[in-house]
Structure 1
Amino acid sequence: MADLITLDEVKLHCRIDVDDEDTLIEGYIAAALEVCQKHIGKRFDDGLEFTPAVKVGCLMYVSQLYEYRTTINDVETSVVPLAISALWSVYRDAGVY
């Protein structure tokens, strides 16, 4: 599953030019893929197709994790942002909340 989104793709998406945060970014990739599967209610190894929309949502989620990694403010960080949810929700089965 780690090969679904590469480190280079994330660094391009987030415009990151340094290599000293690669381990951190790889953790965010794993977290985004996990949250995506939980949000949709299916697993990639159990029939969930990794479509372009799912991938873009994961890239956006990684970007959010990276950008807000040290921020403590009024931004609600416990919910999936609307744009990401819109990309992923079309793949949800009825009854998944």
Structure 2
Amino acid sequence: MSELIGLEEAKLHCRIDDDYEDTLIQAYIEAALEVCQKHIGKRFDNGLEFTAAIKIGCLMYVSQLYEYRTMIGDTDAKEIPMAVSALWSVYRDVGVY
């Protein structure tokens, strides 16, 4: 599933030039795709189209995870950012996931 968003594309979006955090960024890509599907309530392998809005939302979520990676215990960091939620909510089909 991570082939939907490439590592280099995510690093470019996050403005990361080095390679020493590639494993971390790859994990964030996987997490963003998982959270996206849970939020929408439908899976990519079960009819959910990977649209431009979904992709941008995932990239924004990756950058959010990267930016706030050191904030442990912050309850706001656990919420999906409003801009990301707005991009994904139009695809939401609650209870299908």
Give TM-score, length-normalised by structure 1.
Answer: 0.92
Unaligned runs of 5+ in 2: none
| Greater Cα offset, 10-19 or 66-75 | 66-75
Aligned to 2:24: 24
Deviations 1:1-53 (A, max 9, x none): 12100001001100000000000100000000000000000000000000000
Unaligned runs of 5+ in 1: none
SS of equivalent residue, structure 1 residue 27: helix
Aligned to 1:61: 61
CA distance in 2, matches of 1:36, 1:95: 14
TM-aligned CA deviation for residue 94 of structure 1: 5.4
CA RMSD in angstroms, aligned pairs only:
1.6
CA distance in 2, matches of 1:63, 1:21: 13
Percent identity, please. Answer: 74
CA distance in 1, matches of 2:92, 2:43: 11
Deviations 1:58-84 (A, max 9, x none): 000000000111124756012111000
Mapping of residues 1-97 of structure 1, within 5 Å: 1-72=1-72, 74=74, 76-93=76-93
